[in-house]
Structure 1
Amino acid sequence: MSKGKLRAIKERIESTESTMQITRAMEMVARAKIKKVEKSLAFVREYEAALRKNLSIVSASTDETELFSGEGDVLIVVTADMGLCGAFNSEVLRLADDTLKKEKDGIKAIVTIGNKAEQHFKGSALHFDSFTRFYDIPDADEAAMIWNRVFEIMRKKSASGLKIVYSRFKNPIIQLPVLYEVLPFEADEIPEIKEVYDFEPKSDNLYKELLESWVTSAILLATYETKVGELFARQNAMKNATENAQKMIEQLTLIRNKVRQATITQEIIEVVNGAEALKG
């Protein structure tokens, strides 16, 4: 019986060691990818903020502030393609579901970015398009491609609003799911708006061009924030899994040693009892 128990414990230790090797490798991969994208996130944030500032300035000189006339919104939901990153994806999807409940008939279409979002909404009649396995490191060309598709959907559905649900990266431990109301655009209050500007080309044309560039940058920012947050979430989840596996191995090793000691003790007792029986 003890030998069978020892064999079972040994198999569990080997299985846990194999799992620990996988989680440690995934942690290292996530850490390596973080180095590629974390520094770029600051530049993407600055780029989006600069476009928003310029757009706010130009908007003060034009009456045409909307791309489409109509009612309702298109909702973009951004998640990771993969799991194994804790509650990262589920928290974004929960916010998206809450938004749909609150908006009721206000959401006319859903566009998903990321495999997890597609799986979540693929049965919905509102799900118009998806982009999966689309980016490793997000870039402006991909963001522009997404915006072109969203633009078509907004025109087809006569929607004037655009909202994005994604996970905003705060720090390596905290990623916050947020709802970013992109369109209709609301200009920031900045001192420059009070000044008089002469625009070339005309402010109306310039505004539309800037608006589309800014929306593209907002989509790029959402995908970048999501990618950085995903990698940190996966790194943290795999680190915790590795540490838990190590603790389990230590506990199983202790149990194995106790069983082995008990087996040896039992064998010694049997030998002694046998010797005593022979003497008798």
Structure 2
Amino acid sequence: MPSTKDLRDRIRSVSNTAKVTGAMQMIAASKMTRAQNMVANSRPYFETIHNMLTKVTNSLNNQEILKGVKLLQSREINKTLVLFITPDRGLAGALVGNLTKAVGEFISKSGSDISFITVGKKGDRYLSRSNENLFGNFSVSDRPTFNETLQISNTIIENYENENFDKVVIVYAKFINTAVQKIQAHQVLPIETESDDENSNDYIFEPQVVSLLRSIAPKYVQNQVFHSVLEAFASEHSARMVAMQNATDNANELVEGLTLDLNKARQESITGELLDIVGGVAALEK
């Protein structure tokens, strides 16, 4: 068994680690709450834009009109652009590993040339090590704003309209709840809308429907990118908070075990000293 000095040193070291992880847990919890609120606040507007786009496209009897809106046009997929959103830092449990695994599987299954735009240092480093084609790299603050992500979304829109890419996908961690983050590969372009027959023809468009779609479609992409970044940040801080909580709990359990070992070692030492004293007294009596 280790000496009492070694046990005290280990207890002190693990206790200090628990204090650090506990502080990181509280910071992550604060950021998680803020990120979750931002996701919740952005969701209604994003869903409204999506529903509006769905209503308009489903109301068209003449699908030829859609050919006038490049962001809705499908074409043969030869070149794919992937927006890969990852954390800048680690200590987020299995989140980064799950993201890199998902993008690796996407690459292996894709039948087209793939280029990447990254948001986050972890994704950038992974793709650089893998010798993938990096088309661009962006960074955003701890409190992402719509204006911060505009450059990303406008880069995507411009390159799709110029036919530099035939498909655009976002790979990110969708926030489900504090304990669950779902890795998704979501197609952004060409824009896909669900079928919605309810009151789909009860619209009179002013101005022309093509002009309306040309206005709505870019806003949809811009909000999709912004919302995905917010979801990714909420997932990151949630995963980090849970990871730090687990680390703190494990450290505290280890301290408890080491404290028991220390008490046991002290008792054995005291017992040994008592036996030596008793043995010495017995020897003197003889």
Mapping for residues 1-280 of structure 1, pairs under 5 Å: 5-59=3-57, 60-61=59-60, 62-63=65-66, 64-67=68-71, 71=77, 72-104=79-111, 106-123=112-129, 124-132=131-139, 134-154=140-160, 158-190=164-196, 191-200=198-207, 202-280=208-286
2:49–2:220 CA contact under 8 A, matched in 1: yes
1:65–1:185 CA contact under 8 A, matched in 2: no
Task: Write the distance in 2 (CA, Å) between the matches of 1:125 and 1:157.
Answer: 21
CA 1:33/1:125 → structure 2, altered by over 3 Å: closer, same or farther? closer
Which deviates further from its counterpart, 217-226 or 185-194? 185-194
Which deviates further from its counterpart, 28-37 or 66-75? 66-75
In the TM superposition, what is the alpha-carbon distance from 1:257 to its structure 2 partner?
0.4
SS at match of 1:194: coil
Q: Which runs of 5+ in 1 are unaligned?
A: none
How does the TM-score come out when normalised to structure 2? 0.89
Which deviates further from its counterpart, 140-149 or 213-222? 140-149
CA 1:148/1:141 → structure 2, altered by over 3 Å: closer, same or farther? same
CA 1:269/1:156 → structure 2, altered by over 3 Å: closer, same or farther? farther
Letter in 1 for 2:212: L
Task: Write the distance in 2 (CA, Å) between the matches of 1:156 and 1:187.
Answer: 22
Task: Write the distance in 2 (CA, Å) between the matches of 1:125 and 1:13.
Answer: 45
In the TM superposition, what is the alpha-carbon distance from 1:151 to its structure 2 partner?
3.5
Task: Write the distance in 1 (CA, Å) between the matches of 2:199 and 2:120.
Answer: 38
**Cα RMSD for the two superposed structures:** 2.0
How does the TM-score come out when normalised to structure 1? 0.91
In the TM superposition, what is the alpha-carbon distance from 1:43 to its structure 2 partner?
2.4
1:161–1:184 CA contact under 8 A, matched in 2: yes
Q: Deviations over 1:116-138 (max 9, x none)?
A: 11111124241111223x22122
SS at match of 2:200: helix
1:100–1:107 CA contact under 8 A, matched in 2: no
Task: Write the distance in 2 (CA, Å) between the matches of 1:143 and 1:15.
Answer: 42
